[in-house]
Amino acid sequence: MIKCVVVDDEVPAREELKFLLEEIKDINVIGEASHGLEALELNRKTKPDIVFLDIQMPKMSGIEVAKNMIEGEESPLIIFVTAFEEYAIKAFEVNAIDYILKPISKERLEKSVIKAKNRLKNKKTDYNLKLEKLIEGLSMKPTKPINRISVYHNGRLIPLDSTEIIYATLEDKITVIYSERGKFETNCTLNELEKKVDSPSFFRSHKSYLINLDLIEVIEPWFNSTFVIKLKGSSEKIPVSRGQSREFRNIMNID
């Protein structure tokens, strides 16, 4: 049996992951931790084969926990559980370190466990080197986000500060930005625009909406644990999809 430990500061997240792991053959969850120090102590006592480690935790992040774990002679394989955006996921892929993106799917978890099983059959030297590179990359200060975007209006280009953006959406397959200065079009897709305004202030609430969290005026609970949002300067009611609702709850500290 492969010994596993689950680390996440949220009880529902731990319970969900444990439930899914119990359905996978040869996996035995031997413990769980709610914060970094508890995780390090549990790792020292139980010496698990795999640690499922949340990245965004208070006081000690998953990155810091991983740094401490890989210093030991018998370091476990670490599978990060993350809500990081695409740029971070690419870092995982390049360094061949596995991750599970929240919300967790059973199929993705099974693939991750298979990768870990294969790793356990081989020496961990190469794994540790790659993990150290990943941690170093994630620990680096992020590049400064772009604060200005040029948008189209009456055939001219207008520089628009990202803080002026209320939200962006799709209209007739064209990306449209609603701002404090009016409505503008851009040649960017929503995915490209999201990368350009890479900032904690912006959130992809739905596949068709990118919103400015700093301008949220009202949050209305909706059906199936979703929400609709009213933003300052706009009469539009913007949805938060079911797939994004958990991350939205975390960001907005909704119990």
Q: Does residue 83 sit in the same domain as residue 179?
A: no
**Is 130 within the bounds of a domain?**
yes
pLDDT, residue 59, reads: 79
Among 92-101, 131-140, 204-213, name the most confident range. 204-213
pLDDT > 60? residue 192: yes
Mean pLDDT for 56-76 is 81
Contact indicator for 162, 146 with CB cutoff of 8 Å: yes
Q: Does residue 199 sit in the same domain as residue 121?
A: no
Of the ranges 80-89, 174-183, 207-216, which one carries the lowest mean pLDDT score? 80-89
pLDDT, residue 94, reads: 36
Q: Does residue 89 sit in the same domain as residue 117?
A: yes
Q: Give me the count of residues in the chain.
A: 255
Q: Does residue 163 sit in the same domain as residue 229?
A: yes
Q: Does residue 131 sit in the same domain as residue 158?
A: no
**Is 52 within the bounds of a domain?**
yes
pLDDT > 70? residue 41: yes
Owning domain of residue 122: 2-138
**Which of 89, 104, 138 is at the close of a domain?**
138
pLDDT, residue 170, reads: 93
Q: Does residue 160 sit in the same domain as residue 126?
A: no
With a pLDDT cut of 90, the percent of the chain lying above it is: 43
**Is 47 within the bounds of a domain?**
yes
pLDDT, residue 121, reads: 72
- Helix/strand/coil for 8: coil
Q: Does residue 220 sit in the same domain as residue 174?
A: yes
Structure tokens at 215: 């301008």
Question: Quick one: how many helices (H) and strands (E) in the chain?
Answer: 8, 15
3-state secondary structure 100-158: EECCCCHHHHHHHHHHHHHHHCCCCHHHHHHHHHHHHHHHCCCCCCCCEEEEEECCEEE
Check which CATH number belongs to the domain holding 106 and give it: 3.40.50.2300
Q: Does residue 184 sit in the same domain as residue 114?
A: no
**Is 43 within the bounds of a domain?**
yes
Distance (Å, rounded) from C-alpha 225 to C-alpha 220? 11
Judged by phi (left if over 0) then psi (alpha if -120 to 50, else beta), residue 173 lies in left
Check which CATH number belongs to the domain holding 165 and give it: 2.40.50.1020
**Which of 138, 160, 195 is at the close of a domain?**
138
pLDDT digits (tens, 9 = 90+) for 71-115: 766 688 888 888 765 545 544 543 435 778 888 889 989 998 988
* Residue 140 pLDDT level (bands cut at 50, 70, 90): low
More confident residue, 24 or 137: 24
Q: Does residue 118 sit in the same domain as residue 34?
A: yes
Distance (Å, rounded) from C-alpha 205 to C-alpha 67? 32
pLDDT > 50? residue 47: yes
**Is 143 within the bounds of a domain?**
no
* Residue 15 pLDDT level (bands cut at 50, 70, 90): very high
Mean pLDDT for 18-24 is 94
- Split into its structural domains, the chain has a count of 2
Q: Does residue 14 sit in the same domain as residue 133?
A: yes
* Residue 22 pLDDT level (bands cut at 50, 70, 90): very high
pLDDT digits (tens, 9 = 90+) for 142-171: 555 557 788 887 878 888 888 899 999 999
Cα separations in angstroms, 96 against 135, 204, 255:
12, 27, 35
**Which of 99, 117, 138 is at the close of a domain?**
138
* Residue 208 pLDDT level (bands cut at 50, 70, 90): very high
Mean pLDDT for 114-121 is 83
pLDDT, residue 116, reads: 87
pLDDT > 50? residue 124: yes
**Is 242 within the bounds of a domain?**
yes
